[in-house]
Amino acid sequence: MDQVNELTIEDVKGNPVVHAYLLAGNDHLGALGYTDHGLRHAGLVSTIAKNLLWKLEFSEREQELAAIAGYLHDIGNVVSRHYHAQVGAALSERILAGMGMDPGEIAIIMGAIGSHDPEETCQAVSTVSAAVILADKSDVHRSRVRNRDIHNFDVHDRVNYAATRSFLEAKNDDKVISLQLTIDTNIAPVMEYFEIFLTRMIACKRAAEFLGATFELDINNIRLL
């Protein structure tokens, strides 16, 4: 019988195939004009997803699985942006199985990756899945913008660049998950954020509800949701 390993996020980060696929996928999206989806985004989503479940007092293993799923969630971009969530789930299965991970845990991670996109229809299927959706959709920040010519920004570049602070906070006592943004309105008006990210906020609301929490959105210290 094959040996089953209780993998950690550090094991996954150290896998050269994971590293190569994330870098290549990010390069592919860069060629198409997308914002950063590479190691920075993967690491941040991983950390936020794990911290979210820690704050809400879910088990340590669920926290670790959320970290792994968060790190791998965009690995499917190495093949194509289209259906990257489903492709990423399949790639992750092969990688994690090769590392000796428990099949039941692989299934949880596959479900989380496969259900994180598209934003319009994504729906949490597990605790880990909900954490990854919230962590992914909350990453709005100027550090994601690759285009350095502000005069040639498209709307996604402009809104991301306008976001100078993004923080996802979870409070277990009152079961509230809040996304706190600071937006430079000289670069992009708040309404423009809603125009392109409304589906993200709806996805976050559904994911928070799956975790038994309420989702709130604060922009420039004003609660809007």
Domain topology for 9-223: Hypothetical protein af1432 (1.10.3210)
- Residue 1: pLDDT band (50, 70, 90) is very low
Locate tokens 């997308």: which residue?
Answer: 34
- Residue 151: pLDDT band (50, 70, 90) is confident
Report the chain's terminal Cα–Cα distance, integer Å. 51
What pLDDT is recorded for position 36? 93
With DSSP H G I counted as helix, E B as strand and the rest as coil, what are the percentages for the chain, rounded to 5?
Answer: 55, 10, 30
Portion of the chain with pLDDT greater than 70, in percent? 98
Adjacent-strand bridge partners of 177: 170, 215
pTM over 0.75: yes
Q: Is the pLDDT of residue 5 over 80?
A: no
